[in-house]
Amino acid sequence: MKLVCLICGTEEKIPLHCGKPMSYIQKGNFRKRDFLKCEICGTELEMPRHCNVPMLYVDEDYMPIYKLSKSEIEELKRIYGE
Ligand SMILES: [Zn+2]
Ligand SMILES: [Zn+2]
């Protein structure tokens, strides 16, 4: 697994906690928010941001299907830019 920035495509390793890669969870009802959770100690962290939007938690073989258009990027920034 890895983290990918939707905007610029930068890839980062899954952060480690207690020596293990953190797992992905979603919280919230109306507006879901992405978190990383440590399976060992239960610590939850907000998804790291890149280009001001939360990164995507994806499989190692994930390939972006298409590049986001300018308006889609603006939309993402509007949703997350707070
Ligand atoms: Zn931990
Ligand atoms: Zn980025």
Q: What residue segments make up the domains of the chain, in order of their start? A: 2-80
Per DSSP, 50 falls in state: E
Among all ligands shown, which has an atom nearest to the Cα of 44? 1
Element at 9 (helix H, strand E)? none
Amino acid 21: pLDDT? 96
Amino acid 65: pLDDT? 67
Amino acid 61: pLDDT? 84
Distance 51 CA to ligand 2 centre (A): 4
pTM for the structure as a whole:
0.81
Among all ligands shown, which has an atom nearest to the Cα of 8? 2
Distance 50 CA to ligand 2 centre (A): 4
Amino acid 30: pLDDT? 82
Distance 73 CA to ligand 1 centre (A): 33
Among all ligands shown, which has an atom nearest to the Cα of 49? 2
Question: Could you tell me the mean pLDDT of each successive run of 10 residues in the chain, 82 residues long?
Answer: 92 96 92 93 96 91 78 88 67
Among all ligands shown, which has an atom nearest to the Cα of 19? 1
| Long-range interactions of 34-41: CB distance < 8 A, separation 24+ | 41/17
